[in-house]
Each structure stands twice: as C-alpha cells, then as structure tokens.
Structure 1
Amino acid sequence: MDGRRGKDMMARRICVVDDDSAHRLMLSEVLGEEGYETVEAPSGEECLELVSRQSCDLVLLDLKMPGIGGMETLIRLKRSNPPLPVLIMTAYATVQTAIAALKEGAYDYLIKPLDIHALKESVNAGIEPQSDLDQFPDTPPELDDMGIIAVSGVMRDLLADVARVAPTDATVLITGESGSGKEVLADVIHRLSPRSARVMLRLNCAAIPENLLESELFGHRKGAFTGADSDKEGKFVAAEGGTFFLDEIGELPLSAQAKLLRVLQDGRVMPVGGTLEKETDVRIVAATNREIEQEVEEGRFREDLYYRLSVFPLVVPPLRERKMDIPPLADLFLNRFSKRHGKALRGISSRALGRLVSYDWPGNIRELMNILERGVILSRGGFLGEEDLPQSITGALGDSVPQPADARQGISLKEMERMLIERTLAEKAGNRTHASRTLGITRKTLLAKIKEYGIEG
C-alpha cells in the first residue's frame, strides 16, 4: 500500500487483538504508518467488548490467547457482526486449525512471525472486499455440510454471483462438468431465496423416458394416453411458490423444449390431454454438463429456450481449476465420512494430500468424495495415508509429487499451499498466468504468494 492510499484510509479502524503487548504495539505502529486508525485489545473478552462499543472495519486476531481464545472470539464476532472481516494470526498453523478458522468466517490467516508485506496486502484485501459475498451475512451454516468451499478466487467469485441472484426470481442456468457441484449450487440458490420456505422439486431430464416427460413436467388428464387412469399433477404445479430444478436440461427432447418455452414465456401450464391452462408461480433453475451453446449451433437445443433459461448463467469450474479448494474439501469429507463409518481419523497425511492435489479429478468433487469415503473405510491408523488411496491416484504420478520432510504427519495448510504453487508452476513451465488460472487465484495473488514463500522461477 502506498502513502497516497494510506491517506485515503484515515477513517478505517482496525482492532488489533493479541495478548503480547509488544506485538500489539508493533502492529499498531505498522498499520498506523499505512494510514489506518488502530485500537488494541489484549484478550478476546476485551475485543468483544470494544467491538460492541465502537465501529471497526477489520479485526486482526491472534488465535492462541488465554481466556476464551481466538477461535471462540472469532465465532462470537461473526455471530454478532457477520460482515466484519477477521484476519487470523497464529504461530501454530495446521490444516485443521486454519480450515476451522476459515469455516468460522475468517477471510485469511497469517503465520507468525508475520511478513509485513503480506500483512499489509491481507489487511487491504479485507478492508476493501472484492466481492459482494463478503457483505452477504445470511449464508446458512449448513453450506459446509453441502460441500461448498470457497478458498479459491474462482469459487469466491461464483458464490458472490449466487449471492446476487438468489434473492431474485431470475431464471438461472448452471453449466459445468459432471460431479462439479451444479445441484449443490441449485440448493444454495433456493436456500438463500425468498422461496426457501416453500418446496424445491427436482427432475433429471435424462432419467425420464421421452414419452413420459411431458406428463412429468405438466401433468395429464385421465384418459390422455394408455395407462392414464386418473388425473396427475405435474411438477410445475407441485412446485407452486417454490423452485423447480431441471437437471440435465440439455437432454430435453425438442418437442418438450417447445412446451417448456411456452411455460416460461406465459407462466401457464397445460396438462397432457387437458383443455384448460393453469397459471403457475415457479422459479426455474436449470443445469447441464453439455456445451449448451454448441448444442444450439448444431440444432439440438432451441436458441429461444436457451436465452430464456440463461437470464443469469453460472459456470461451475472443474476441480482441477480450483486446486486451492482441494485441501479444505478433503478435510470436510474426511470428517464427514469418519463420523459416518465410526472412524477416529485425525487428518490426512502429507503424502496422501500431495497425491490428491496433484490429481486432475475428471470426476470432480463427486470423485473426490467417493475416493475419500473408500479411503476412510480402508484406513487403519490415525491418519488417512497414501496406501488408503486407489492406484488411479497413487499410480498416476509415480514418485514425482513433492513432499515435505515429515511425510507421515498432517501437513500445514501453508506448506500445502507452497507445495501446490511450486508444482503448478513446474507443470506450466513457469508461466504465472497459466498457473494462476489452474490454481483458481488471480495473477496478482500468485505473485504475492511467490514472494511470500521465496519460490524460484
């Protein structure tokens, strides 16, 4: 941050929380030189009291303190003031503690002793959030259980778009590879919408025979076709007031596409064999793993329907393009499957985690979940190890995965991050633009990380 920028920040106040008075003073002086106003608190209790009495733009919070401690302070801060950015400082970073802090709402963490340049960059990023997601206070806590992880920039940008569109009634078209999380994203849109108290119905367009699809969508009247022994309510009517998720919309036959288009245009449905239309109030979210624009060009998908569906398009990136999300996703699924199968796993070994982040994941998050559930079932020790992974993962790369010296114990998130960056740079022949794209972060962030870790090349 330059001096001119510092002068623009005079009104911004940062609460520095650390039980080490000398460290607090040093941080206050550094931030003061950058043009920030600082207030200090020696404990979590005093921080909570201070923040309740005066407005702060950011909290710089030490994780290990006597009393209620940094993690509990973080939880209480986010409960009372969800949009308040909290930057964690710790000398005891592990995968578990860092991920726990991120899950509880911390936007970043720094390792002691602090790199002053990294501190300034992180404080600036927190005080000037880059997406509306940072200002969105009502994200349900159950999102963690749904596998929504947004450490990488591409996922944070995606969830920022979700936060913008969810409260509206706009039709959403979600595209992305199989297993990338399209249905999960549809769930999020419904849960964050004004329709969340009403039903969300789903229909997989590829799973219904073509001759029954219109009946499923619009319903039918008794005698409309052989086997129609009674009137049937279609999904559009059943979803009244709620959300209707049309999965694999690219598989919809052209005949049904024309009728769906009419419903979207007029807001009315006609049952098969019926004579009276019925008005319907339904929010449509659709998804496909097909290249839908190519389907339009080749005449397999109606152009007018495509434009009706893609009022607000969302593209879910494949897991190989958001590798920064793999460690926290792996930790999330490890905990979930350990509980499900009665295992007491404490984490993932560094060698196993190295294999996971180096793999390209053609099956995306669904494949990661399946492999981790299998690994949890097979595991015999306290950590999920490389031997618990299938040969498709361990055999794909030979012994080329870089490993820290202690390869058996859990690896810190910072070590994992450095290892990921080094490997990706090597794979991309040092091209930082391509590497940042693969990691799912901006080029500017990658350059800062390279400097922070002293990475050559």
Structure 2
Amino acid sequence: MQQALKIIENIQNEFNSEIIPILAHTDDPNNNFHGIVGKSDKINRIFKIIEKVADSDTTILINGETGTGKGLLCKSIHEKSYRKNNPFIKINCGAIPDHLLESELFGHEKGAFTGATNSKPGKFELADGGTVFLDEIGDMSYDLQVKVLRVLEEGEFERVGGCKTLKTNVRIIAATHRNLEEEVKKGNFREDLFYRLYVIPVYIAPLRERKSDIPLLISHFLNENIKAMKGSVIGITKNAMTLLTNYSWPGNVRELKNVVERMVVLSESGIINTSECPMHIQNQGAILEEEENIVFSEEGICLNTAVTEFEKKLITQSLEKTNWVKNRAAKLLHLNRTTLVEKIKRYNLEPLAV
C-alpha cells in the first residue's frame, strides 16, 4: 500500500510527464550488437565495420574518449571471429610501469631481474591462437613499441632475459583515447607502428554526439540492475529521461551505467523521476532550462554580457562540483587546464581555485 502511494505521489509531482516503462527488448539485434547497445547512425556504422572485419586477422585501432566502451567493442570483435574459442587477453598499457609492462607482454626468464625467481610466459605467449587487446597503447613507451611492431609484422619475440625466439599467432587490437597522429608528429609514437595499427580505424563517438542512444542505454542498464538486485523499479518519467538525455555525460557510457545503478538502488517509489537524478545532472538541466526561457525587455539583452554570465556560472559550478580542483573542472568542461586558468583569472575566481 505504501509503495502504491509513493508511486501516485511521483505521478502527481510530474503530472505533465508520462511514465516510460522499462523496455524489455534492449536485446533486440537491431539495437544490441554483442552487448553494444545503440541505434544511432554513428553506432550503426561501427556495427557494419565489425561485421566485415571481425572474422579476419586485420589489425584494428579503436579511438574514443574514456568510458565510451572501447573494451566492450574489442571483446565483441573477438567473440564474432574464428578465434572466439581461444584466449582473449586484455592489458592496459597505461596502468603498468614500463619495465613491468615488457615482462607482462613478453614474459621473462628466471633471474632476468630482481625478483624473477621463476620463468613466466607473457600475454603474447598465453594468447596464442586468440586475441590480445592493447588498451591505451598511446601510453606505451617508444622503446617498447618496437617490440610490439615486431610481433605484428613477424609474429615473434623473446622473453625478457631470454635468447630463444618464440612464435605466436595472435590478433592484436589496440585502443587509445589519444590522437596518435598528433603523438607521431610530437615524436611520442612510432610512425611505423601507427601505420601498422591503422589498418581498420574505428572511432567511437562520445555520448553527447549520439544522444539517440541514451534512452536505449538507460533502459538496458535499468534492466541489468533490476535483474541483479531484484529491484522494484517499473519505469522512468519522461521528464527524467529528457533530463538524462540532455546531460553532457563527460564520463560517457561508464558514467551513465553508474548513474543508473545509483538511481535504482536509491529509488523509493518504483518510478525514477527528476528528483532522483544526481544533483549535478539536475543543476546542468536547470541552467539549460533557465537559458532557454529568457524574457526580453524593451531594451533588449546584450548578447556578450549574457554569454559571459552563462560561462562564469558554468565554470563556477564545475569548480564547486570538483572541490575547486582545476584539472578535474577542466575535464568536466572539455577544456585544457591552461584555458580554464585564464577564464578563472578573467572572472576573478582565482582566490577560490586550487
């Protein structure tokens, strides 16, 4: 009875917002490709590329912002290939110190370095016949790139501290959030390795560039969380769906997934409404709504002044959200730190920022 009263209360609070039931068909093959959910033109182009190249040994380079689903895409390529019954091994090149990364990739012999008490095979050896996913390859050192290039071109390598040349038959798929062409120009990434990887380039657009995928993803994650937690959420209001769709999602799909989980766990009524969306999302929606409903006086409005005030407000909110840490605020605003610092000084916010 109490649950029913809360649902009625939600409907009254958002009387002008129809309830969208949670979709039970997000596994529709037209919208879900091996776990990748979407229907936008940008995501459909990726589906078509996967269909053509998955069952080959062609090298693929995936580029996209953090949280866009590069790992999931790589896994789906492996599962659709003839190598699917063989190992799929992922290694994050940016998360392991360089001297350890070499050992992780190529293995080492006993006594090769301090602490090497036993011989150990590397990922290329363990993945023989399967797929190796080199995540964040743009963070790999220049010297180590030479050895990876040799595996790509010749399929051979030596363990650290070893003399015996080993053979491996692996497909390499790489991913990065960096612009590798720019890294090549800066001398941070080998040109020969770049062109060896850049056979089939795949770009995963951020969520803010494919908003039509967001409602599907929300339904998909709602279903996942409800099944896992045996939750009682039965729907989401249209206003809440609109608010979430219009949010910029700087953390992309990863952030969206976490937000949906939080809303399911904390929902009290069974219907997710705007008040149950995280406050930073509500705040961004309020700013946009306020700017969309400007009332003009007879004297009009100075555009430059209005834009300045809006920018100042947005920067202030991003700094408040990140406890006035400039690097994190710059990331939220998709600015580089230098540009943000200049704007903080211009608007006299400097004394508060760190």
TM-score bucket (shorter structure): 0.7 to 0.9
Which one has more relative contact order, counting CA pairs under 8 Å at least 6 apart? 2
Tell me, yes or no, if structure 1 residue 334 matches structure 2 residue 222.
yes
Matches within 5 A, 1:97-246: 100=24, 103-105=27-29, 143=34, 146=35, 148-246=36-134
- Name the residue aligned to 1:393: 281
Tell me, yes or no, if structure 1 residue 254 matches structure 2 residue 145.
no
**Partner SS, residue 392 of structure 1:** helix
What letter corresponds to residue 255 of structure 2 in structure 1?
A: E
Q: Deviations over 1:307-342 (max 9, x none)?
A: 111111110010011100000110010111122223
CA RMSD of aligned residues (A): 2.0
- Name the residue aligned to 1:278: 166
What letter corresponds to residue 344 of structure 1 in structure 2?
A: S
Distance 2:205 2:61 in 1: 14
Distance 1:165 1:95 in 2: 37
Note if contact 2:233-2:271 (Cα within 8 Å) is conserved in structure 1: yes
Note if contact 1:292-1:301 (Cα within 8 Å) is conserved in structure 2: yes
Tell me, yes or no, if structure 1 residue 311 matches structure 2 residue 235.
no
What letter corresponds to residue 75 of structure 2 in structure 1?
A: D
What letter corresponds to residue 172 of structure 1 in structure 2?
A: I
Q: CA deviation at 1:102?
A: 6.6
**Partner SS, residue 248 of structure 2:** coil
Distance 1:202 1:105 in 2: 26
- Name the residue aligned to 2:9: none
Unmatched segments (≥5 aa) in structure 1: 1-92, 108-138, 403-457
Distance 1:339 1:96 in 2: 15
Tell me, yes or no, if structure 1 residue 354 matches structure 2 residue 242.
yes
Note if contact 1:355-1:401 (Cα within 8 Å) is conserved in structure 2: no
**Partner SS, residue 189 of structure 1:** helix
- Name the residue aligned to 2:297: none
Distance 1:105 1:248 in 2: 29
Distance 2:51 2:216 in 1: 21
Note if contact 1:151-1:324 (Cα within 8 Å) is conserved in structure 2: yes
Q: Deviations over 1:77-108 (max 9, x none)?
A: xxxxxxxxxxxxxxxx99558x555743468x
**Partner SS, residue 243 of structure 2:** helix
Tell me, yes or no, if structure 1 residue 344 matches structure 2 residue 268.
no
What letter corresponds to residue 257 of structure 2 in structure 1?
A: M
Q: Deviations over 1:339-381 (max 9, x none)?
A: 2223111121111111111111110000101111111111011
**Partner SS, residue 285 of structure 1:** strand
Q: Deviations over 1:98-133 (max 9, x none)?
A: x555743468xxxxxxxxxxxxxxxxxxxxxxxxxx
TM-score by length of 1: 0.57
Among 301, 304, 308, the residue aligned to 2:189 = 301
**Partner SS, residue 174 of structure 2:** strand
What letter corresponds to residue 69 of structure 2 in structure 1?
A: G
Note if contact 2:68-2:254 (Cα within 8 Å) is conserved in structure 1: yes
**Partner SS, residue 395 of structure 1:** helix
Q: Deviations over 1:215-255 (max 9, x none)?
A: 11111111111111111101000000000001110110111
In the superposition, relative to structure 1, how do residues 102 and 380 fare at CA in structure 2: closer, same or farther (>3 Å)?
closer
Note if contact 2:244-2:281 (Cα within 8 Å) is conserved in structure 1: yes
**Partner SS, residue 287 of structure 1:** strand
Q: CA deviation at 1:202?
A: 0.7
Note if contact 2:19-2:235 (Cα within 8 Å) is conserved in structure 1: no
- Name the residue aligned to 2:305: none
Q: CA deviation at 1:198?
A: 0.7
Q: CA deviation at 1:161?
A: 0.5
**Partner SS, residue 220 of structure 2:** helix
Unmatched segments (≥5 aa) in structure 2: 1-17, 291-354
* Identity fraction in percent: 44
Q: CA deviation at 1:400?
A: 5.0
TM-score by length of 2: 0.73
Q: CA deviation at 1:281?
A: 0.1
Moved over 4 A (4+): 93-97, 99-102, 399-402
